[in-house]
Amino acid sequence: MNLSESLRRELEQIAGAEAVITDPVHLLAYDCDAYTIEKALPTVVVLPQTTEQVAAIAKLANREKLPITPRGAGTGLSGGALAVNGGIVVGFSRMNRILWVDRRNRRLRAQAGAVNYQLTKVVQHENLHFAPDPSSQGACTIGGNVAENSGGPHTLKYGVTVNHITGLQVVLPDGAIAELGGVEDEPFGYDLVGLITGSEGTLAIVTEVVARLTPNPQGVRTLLAVFETLEDASQTVSDIIAAGVVPAALELMDALTLQAVEAAFGYGFPLDAEAVLLIELDGLEAELDSEQADVLQLCQRNCAREVRQATSPQERARLWAARKKAIGALGRLAPSCVTQDGVIPRSKLPQVLREAARIAAHYQLQLANVFHAGDGNLHPVLLFDDSDPLQVARVVEAGDAILALCLREGGSLTGEHGIGTEKCAMMHQMFTAHDMDTMRRIKGVFNPCDHLNPEKMFPDSRYCYESKRALRKGAVGL
């Protein structure tokens, strides 16, 4: 798709010449997200600074019937920010301001391009924080979090993004600006904020967000339990929840992940263990010692080799840095990786992890596991060389097989990464034809011409099928 000189000039009039990117070399920075398999080059990238500029861009795209794709920091993991039909990418890197903070009512309003961690940083001196904490929270944006309904380690206890958003400003595909929700705790009328959150940019473009702020807990206990087997670690997860203890976070890292993290950062993790659990308890100080004793007993019952406790804020920060940098550390082991995002019942963890390992071995791939064990949100990481088409094809097949396994065990295709282009071909395995038709009809109300983030989520997407078929070439016989 080529951009005419007249359209380029119109975009420059809207956002400024320096905010319009058409150079093919510079566009390469926008041809993928953190899901590294599929790539698609936009025709033009525009970097607006206000909602009004976004609305003007949307009106132009609507008039010219051009695809338009919203993009935050590009940290998404399902291809949701790919401009699969070319067209306009609206990047939010310049819409990154915190607009106001109401500490008394625990609310904050931010532009969509504000980085997740900045929402906490601006209020941390007030003993408040923004609870959803994706591992990429130092880079990912609140608008992207809303699009994917992102989670994170501490959402086991505190909930995912939708539980912490009370209001949105959005631009509809025709350029209309709408205010949804507000500062109230409970929505009135239809929950349109809940509908937009998790819709992956297919219903509206989020430009501003009203977020709920959460008081910091009175006390925290952070433990690292070391296990000889994945099965023992997985069983401990189920036993902790079954005992009525709800940790703030319950994260599992396997042996391959530990090796990569230790090589990268030297945190003193055991290299001969098959798994560790990072367990965090928080709440009233008067209750924490009792909860910790219960957790220690359950770890010992499941043959934990040792349980370490962070004795200072610095030690706690080091443990969390290891968890949040784990997938990046796996770059030491292979040129590329794909992080899957299936969900299963916690009780199925041991058998699913064993079967996922068999699937990876069948496709001749290394598999690392680092995931939100407490809510059954798996993140199996397949390591490969993206310069080898055969390995790429095997990764696609293996990823589909792991997700199909999650569905067979009563789980879902995604817990926080979204469907995007990656999983759209599998949607019919999770939803009935009636379910899919209902979702398409809702999409049609907001996005009737399907030019807002097209070719995402739905299994009849042309790009979805064509890209999957192309990537599978050469995988026959495995």
User: Given the DSSP bridges, would you call strands 68-71 and 88-91 parallel, antiparallel or unpaired?
Assistant: parallel
Instruction: Examine the domain organization and report whether 452 and 345 are in the same domain.
Output: yes
**pLDDT for residue 474 is more than 70:** no
CATH of the domain at 80: 3.30.465.10
In a domain, 477, yes or no: no
Instruction: Examine the domain organization and report whether 225 and 306 are in the same domain.
Output: yes
Instruction: Examine the domain organization and report whether 240 and 293 are in the same domain.
Output: yes
Instruction: Examine the domain organization and report whether 348 and 266 are in the same domain.
Output: no
Instruction: Examine the domain organization and report whether 325 and 450 are in the same domain.
Output: no
In a domain, 188, yes or no: yes
pLDDT in tens, 379-407: 999 999 999 999 999 999 999 999 999 99
Q: By C-alpha distance, which of 382, 384, 390 is closest to 474?
A: 390
Mean pLDDT of 173-185: 95
**pLDDT for residue 465 is more than 70:** no
**pLDDT for residue 77 is more than 70:** yes
- pLDDT above 70 covers a percentage of the chain that reads 97
| Mean per-residue pLDDT of the chain | 94
Instruction: Examine the domain organization and report whether 205 and 303 are in the same domain.
Output: no
Instruction: Examine the domain organization and report whether 163 and 229 are in the same domain.
Output: no
- Residue where a domain stops, chosen among 302, 329, 356: 329
Mean pLDDT of 250-254: 97
The pLDDT of residue 460 is 77
Q: pLDDT-derived band of residue 472, with 50, 70 and 90 as boundaries? A: low
Q: Determine which helix (DSSP H) or strand (DSSP E) holds 469, and give its type and residue range.
A: helix 462-472
Instruction: Examine the domain organization and report whether 139 and 188 are in the same domain.
Output: yes
- Residue where a domain stops, chosen among 329, 346, 376: 329
In a domain, 309, yes or no: yes
* Domain containing residue 426: 333-472
Amino acid letter at 288? L
Alpha-helix residue ranges (DSSP H) falling in 302-432: 313-324, 326-329, 349-362, 389-408, 427-430
Least confident of 251-255, 262-266, 300-304, 362-366: 262-266
In a domain, 412, yes or no: yes
The pLDDT of residue 335 is 93
CATH of the domain at 392: 3.30.70.2740
The pLDDT of residue 469 is 58
Instruction: Examine the domain organization and report whether 356 and 223 are in the same domain.
Output: no
Q: How many domains does the chain have?
A: 3
The pLDDT of residue 36 is 72
Cβ proximity of 24 and 30 under 8 Å: no
In a domain, 478, yes or no: no
Instruction: Examine the domain organization and report whether 51 and 94 are in the same domain.
Output: yes
Mean pLDDT of 122-129: 97
pLDDT in tens, 316-355: 999 999 999 999 999 999 999 999 999 999 989 989 999 9
Mean pLDDT of 108-131: 98
- Residue where a domain stops, chosen among 329, 347, 370: 329
pLDDT in tens, 269-309: 899 999 999 999 999 999 999 999 999 999 999 999 999 99
Instruction: Examine the domain organization and report whether 55 and 152 are in the same domain.
Output: yes
pTM above 0.85, yes or no: yes
Instruction: Examine the domain organization and report whether 194 and 295 are in the same domain.
Output: no
